[in-house]
Amino acid sequence: MTDRPKTALSLITVRAARLDDAPTLKTMCWPERSLDSVSELVQRTLRLTQHQRGTGAVGAWNGQLCAFGMLTLWPRNAEISDLIVHPDYRSHGVGSQIITYLTEAARQLQVQTLEIGVALSNPRALALYRRLGFQDNRVVNLDLGSGSEPVMYLTKDLTPPG
């Protein structure tokens, strides 16, 4: 085997979330949350996977678990939520790869419309979602923990061509 230079994408791994990821996710993604709270979120993704109603994914940069995202199927569409990347690992493509992973999971579950929300106070995430093919759909005011703020929901059509 020959050595080859590592590209940014070769440093990223994305896989299904496991319950034993919860302690690292708490440390890297949600230090302000309790371990029980993070464990419950991961358990929710496991139940979604078991019932074919969604899934959870974790991302790692060079082996370090640093990101999370969740896919949930609703009656009319599916939603990517709880997407988070540790600040030190942003702008490396980890979030993009999690979205790609969850989008493929949605396709396998025969989802036609995929949705993702972003606080308008987060222009970097909004630009990322647009680059990944999501289109502005609607703005709603939600309390994301610091009072009401506008959240843009973007959608992506996953209907197979033909």
Do you know the residue count of the chain? 162
- What residue numbers bound the domain in which 28 lies? 9-157
In a domain, 4, yes or no: no
Amino acid at 13: T
**pLDDT tens sequence across 103-113:** 999 999 999 99
- In tens digits, what is the pLDDT along the chain, a chain of 162 residues? 333 344 556 799 999 999 999 999 999 999 999 999 999 999 999 999 999 999 999 999 999 999 999 999 998 899 999 999 999 999 999 999 999 999 999 999 999 999 999 999 999 999 999 999 999 999 999 877 778 899 999 999 998 877
The answer as to whether 123 is a domain residue is yes
Q: Per the domain annotation, does 3 fall within a domain?
A: no
Question: Which has the closest alpha carbon to 69: 54, 87, 84, 79?
Answer: 84
In a domain, 87, yes or no: yes
- CA dist 90 and 94 (Å) reads 7
Per-residue burial over 73-109, b if 16 or more Cβ lie within 10 Å, else e, is beeebbbbebbbbbeebbebbbbbbbbebbbebbeee
Residue 20 lies in a domain: yes
- Whether 60 maps to a domain, the answer reads yes
Instruction: Pick the closest to residue 66 from 103, 21, 102 (CA basis).
Output: 21
Residue whose structure tokens are 């999370």: 68
2 within some domain: no
H helix runs in the chain, sequence order: 22-28, 35-50, 94-108, 123-131
pLDDT at 136: 97
Looking at residue 73, which CATH number applies to its domain?
3.40.630.30
> In this predicted structure, what is the pLDDT of residue 9?
61
Domain count, the chain: 1
Its pTM stands at: 0.90
Does residue 52 form part of some domain? Answer: yes
With residue 71 as reference, give the H or E element that holds it.
strand 64-73
pLDDT at 147: 83
